[in-house]
Structure 1
Amino acid sequence: MECIITIEIGTNAVRIMAFDLAGNVIGSSKGSYPTFHVEPDYSEQDPDQMFITMLYVMKNLLNEKIHPSNYRIISICFSASMHSVLPIDKHGVPLGNAITWPDNRGRKEAEDLKNSSIGSTIYNSTGTPIHPMSPLIKIAWLQRQDQERFKKASKFITIKTYIIQQLTKEYFLDYSLASATGLLNIHTRKWEDAALDYAGITSDRLPDLVPVFHSLGTIRKEYQKSLGLPDGVKIIIGSSDGCLATLGGGAWEIDKATITIEDSGAVRVVSETVLEDSKQRLFNYLLTDKYYISGGPTNNGGVAFEWFAKQFGDFKNLYDVENVMQHLVHQAMDSRPGSDGLLFLPYLLGERAPIWNANARGTFFGINIKHEKRHFIRATVEGILYEIYSIGKTLEDHRTINSLTANGSFASIPFCTQLLADIFNKPISIGVNPDSIAQGAFLLSATDLGIYDSLDNAAKSVKMATTFEPFKQNNPIYMKYFELYERLSVKLREEFSDITRLQNEN
């Protein structure tokens, strides 16, 4: 028996899944690692800790599920979260931690670039909105604010590039992940000169570019032996988590979109052309030279609800976060749509689409003496989903969306999925495998192996487990609250800036 392994280097965890060649999941394993917030705007991770976690999780899965069942691994495909930057020296040694996507320390650089004459040129060329999330801004910040590390850096790579190099000795970056850096021209598929000039680097300080189907070299002998991998296993560089979530979500038709909510979240559509947004609210990333994945991301998905759970949940033991979150969701069901007049702006990590405001802050609005814990729980969930809807609403300025698929651990909670259907007033389907990133990586590998003759047919193979139809009576209620939510998000812009300034003065 043969199988395909997918490795997802996620925001807070590595997830490894094994599929048989028919696409059935035969095993999965997960291992977490911390994100360090040494200052309010800083988000960093230890790349070696991530690599060791990946090896540990991989070895456990292989030893517990794959080797005892005599499966032969024929392909391994990678995915990773976007927008990370890791400076390394000439020997390949990391110069500190990796800077990850929620990092907002480059807000001034982003604001200056966005307001300059070259900002729109870079956005139109790269498809990446000007925001502190992008490696373009992170490298520019290093060049201006951490010159010693900037000068020592031989290359600026992604976490995915680092982990692949540790396994295979090769420095590569796929076009798909590169298209989320703000440094790649998505039309020519070459590093964009204007972006390189702004960041203060030349292309030789970035990894070599390859397609998502690129086959990497063999795994280093010591890891091959430790993991019990046979010779000849094909290692596929793969893509970004967002692009693969869209492929694995199966929403490949022109009138469909995919919602992903894990720690962060996004709404995405697939197209053979770029979605041109004059307000620069949407991204356009490459999957292959034929397909663009367009949409908008939020910083504040499941991470906002997990924050609430950690602060206000009832813990029986320190590591019981998932059970606590389930209990909170159950309590939220005792409140009515709209949380009896309580609104939550979920901007705990600033915000990306559609407001693109790194200064945005979390806010409960409308608190009165009658509000109880259950109202705050439901308001938190509703606020996260209002933000998702605001991205979908922006996408509908460019595309008609008649139905959506939802994936990710938060989006796949039935209570949350039903709320999404009610807020969007459209049917929301959940796939048989709710982990659409792994599903997308499997489909990419399976297409590479010839199991599918195209990504189109691979996407069409995705089966839905259930569909949530909207409760029509709830949508008008949510739309009234959403209109206020949207106004507050814009009206508080000056106050968000002021509170950020005061915080940084202390």
Structure 2
Amino acid sequence: MDCIITVELGTYGIRVFIYDLSGRVIGSMKGHYPTFHTQPDYSEQDPEQIFITTLYVLKNILNEYIHPGKYKVASICFCGSMHSVLPVDAKGNPLGNAITWADNRAKKEAQELRNSPLGKKLYRETGTPIHPMSPLVKIAWIRDHDKERFRSASKFLSIKSYIIHQLTGEYMIDYSIASATGLLNIHTVSWEGDALQYAGITADQLAVVAPVLSKAGKLKKAYQQSLGLQADTKILIGSSDGCLATLGDGIIKGEAKACITIEDSGAVRVMGTSVLKDEQMRFFNYLLTNDYYISGGPTNNGGNIFEWFTRQFGEFASQFDMEDSMQQLLEEAANVPAGSDGLVFLPYLLGERAPIWNANARGAYFGLNIKHERKHFIRATIEGILYEIYSIGKTLEEQRSIENLSVNGSFGTIPFCSQLIADIFNKPVQVRPEFHSISFGAYILSATEMGIYTSLDDAATKPIDPPDVFKPNKQHHGIYADYFRIFERLSAKLSDEFEAIANLQQKYTHPDKLLMNDKL
């Protein structure tokens, strides 16, 4: 019996799913790898550790489900997070760690480029907002601040391209992740000359751009043997996590529906046949295929912020009961009225992307008074994360009509959060329980490539199970609308203070140097 495997290379770990050909989940597994924050604004991962984790999880899931069940793996489809950069040498060996989407070290380069005529031109050509997340400015930072690494680099890869190269020997990058680099002209689907010149590299130093349904060669014989896979197993290059979450949730072009993902980070997305044009450069426009643009805005601050809050202020019976502690906090939050009795939280603990695009943004609790208790902080934290999601959706509605929402991601699909999203947006929210949109989107790609579906449109309109629907509470929406206006004004008014405190943090990062200066 044939089956399809999907491999998601996420921000904090890998998720592997096995689907039968009808789209039912046979089994799943996940593994984790760390992110290193060695300095302020730095966010890096060890590519070899990611590869070893990928092999480990793949081998375990094959041994537990595939081989005992006598399944034949027809296809393995890869998906991954966007905006990573990994310089490798001429033999494909990593030159240090990979730089992730959350890395803000290139914020000076990004700000200068964003404010220039070239930056505006590159945004129109590439569809990627000018921000430190962009590999375009990450590579420029390496060029200017890590010169030896830059000179030694034969290629600059995404993490997914590196993993695929390790498995097959091919250097390939799919349309979706390529269009999120800030280096691809999304209109001609080729590397953009002005972007290459700005970064100081050539097209040969990037992977070959390929459609998301492309096959990435064959598994090397060593991995065929160690994993127990046949030589004819298809390796599909796949797509990005954001594009596949949108496809997996059944969002199709032209529909007045948006997809909200809240996992560690988050995003609000729509699908269409044309790009969203915005003089303020607030939206991304990424390619899924030649006929599909995934447009919207991302946030750095999603479920990772609630996890941060839980680690700092939750109660743990043991160090491993994160889910139990989160559930306890959610129950406390449910006993606080909408609006958290006047406590407003800005969730910008990791800077911010859409819609303010400010890498210096910082978190804050506002409106605190003597009557506020821990439960108010809990609910305000959740509301603040969702206000930020709403601010993206509200901006997106300037360009697209949105009548209803589909929500995915481990944080967004918590029933308490799904209801808050419905209330804040004042729109019905659809959620598919026990459903992973990214992996299902990868299944759709594989199934379409195999001919099970005639097109991506055909696949997206045939959901496996009907969703749950959360209807908005109009009274709560009125309350949230009032508090959101304060949230929105604070995010704008504190821009100067965000920059000032970021400069101070940078200034006082090395206390040993300060001590030396004091002595002088």
In 2: Cα distance, 1:200 partner to 1:316 partner = 53
SS in 1 for 2:70: coil
Q: How far has the Cα of 1:231 moved from its partner? A: 2.4
Specify the alignment match of 1:128 in structure 2: 128
**Alignment of 1:93 onto 2:93:** yes
In 1: Cα distance, 2:107 partner to 2:273 partner = 32
SS in 1 for 2:276: coil
Specify the alignment match of 1:221 in structure 2: 221
Q: Which moved more, 1:7-16 or 1:314-323?
A: 314-323
SS in 1 for 2:335: coil
Amino acid at match of 2:294: I
Change (3 A) 1:433 1:314: closer
In 1: Cα distance, 2:422 partner to 2:409 partner = 16
Specify the alignment match of 2:517 in structure 1: none
CA shift digits 1:168-213 (9 cap, x unpaired): 1111111111000000000000101111111111111111111111
Specify the alignment match of 1:243 in structure 2: 243
Specify the alignment match of 1:266 in structure 2: 267
Amino acid at match of 1:402: E
Q: How does 1:21-36 map to 2 (within 5 A)?
A: 21-36=21-36
Q: How does 1:467-478 map to 2 (within 5 A)?
A: 467-478=469-480
SS in 1 for 2:467: strand
Specify the alignment match of 1:449 in structure 2: 450
In 2: Cα distance, 1:431 partner to 1:443 partner = 16
Specify the alignment match of 1:300 in structure 2: 301
CA shift digits 1:443-491 (9 cap, x unpaired): 0100000110011011111243301111111000000000000000000
Amino acid at match of 2:257: K
Specify the alignment match of 1:427 in structure 2: 428
Specify the alignment match of 2:518 in structure 1: none
In 2: Cα distance, 1:34 partner to 1:336 partner = 37
In 2: Cα distance, 1:464 partner to 1:242 partner = 22
Specify the alignment match of 2:467 in structure 1: 465
Structure 2, unaligned runs of 5 or more: 509-520
Q: How far has the Cα of 1:319 moved from its partner? A: 2.2
SS in 2 for 1:217: coil
CA shift digits 1:93-151 (9 cap, x unpaired): 11110000000000000000011111100000000000000000100101111111111
Specify the alignment match of 1:503 in structure 2: 505
In 1: Cα distance, 2:326 partner to 2:61 partner = 26
Q: How does 1:251-262 map to 2 (within 5 A)?
A: 251-252=251-252, 253-262=254-263
Amino acid at match of 1:504: Q
Specify the alignment match of 2:488 in structure 1: 486
SS in 2 for 1:118: helix
CA contact (8 A) 1:409 1:434 kept: no
In 1: Cα distance, 2:313 partner to 2:490 partner = 25
Amino acid at match of 1:302: G
SS in 1 for 2:412: coil
Q: Which moved more, 1:230-239 or 1:77-86?
A: 230-239
Structure 1, unaligned runs of 5 or more: none
Specify the alignment match of 1:161 in structure 2: 161
**Alignment of 1:416 onto 2:417:** yes
SS in 1 for 2:177: helix
Q: Which moved more, 1:443-452 or 1:55-64?
A: 55-64
Over the matched positions of the two proteins, sequence identity in percent amounts to 63
In 2: Cα distance, 1:471 partner to 1:267 partner = 21
CA contact (8 A) 1:337 1:474 kept: yes
Specify the alignment match of 1:111 in structure 2: 111
Specify the alignment match of 2:292 in structure 1: 291
Specify the alignment match of 2:172 in structure 1: 172
Q: How far has the Cα of 1:433 moved from its partner? A: 4.9
Q: How far has the Cα of 1:432 moved from its partner? A: 4.9
CA shift digits 1:256-304 (9 cap, x unpaired): 0100010000000000111111110000000001100000000000111
Provide the aligned length of Structure 1 versus Structure 2. Answer: 506
In 1: Cα distance, 2:231 partner to 2:88 partner = 30
SS in 1 for 2:136: helix
TM-score normalised per structure 2: 0.96
Amino acid at match of 1:467: V
In 1: Cα distance, 2:77 partner to 2:95 partner = 27
> What is the alpha-carbon root mean square deviation over aligned residues?
0.9
Specify the alignment match of 2:335 in structure 1: 334
Specify the alignment match of 2:231 in structure 1: 231
In 2: Cα distance, 1:218 partner to 1:22 partner = 25
Specify the alignment match of 1:343 in structure 2: 344
Amino acid at match of 1:498: A
CA contact (8 A) 1:433 1:439 kept: no
In 2: Cα distance, 1:432 partner to 1:251 partner = 17
In 1: Cα distance, 2:470 partner to 2:323 partner = 23
In 2: Cα distance, 1:200 partner to 1:58 partner = 37
Specify the alignment match of 1:310 in structure 2: 311
CA contact (8 A) 1:213 1:444 kept: yes
Specify the alignment match of 2:280 in structure 1: 279
Amino acid at match of 1:475: H
Q: Which moved more, 1:217-226 or 1:281-290?
A: 217-226
Specify the alignment match of 1:366 in structure 2: 367
SS in 2 for 1:474: helix
SS in 2 for 1:340: helix
Q: Which moved more, 1:478-487 or 1:168-177?
A: 168-177
Specify the alignment match of 1:14 in structure 2: 14
Change (3 A) 1:432 1:455: farther
CA shift digits 1:38-82 (9 cap, x unpaired): 112000000010111111111111111222111111011000000
CA contact (8 A) 1:432 1:464 kept: no
TM-score normalised per structure 1: 0.99
In 2: Cα distance, 1:142 partner to 1:56 partner = 31
Q: How far has the Cα of 1:322 moved from its partner? A: 2.1
Specify the alignment match of 1:66 in structure 2: 66
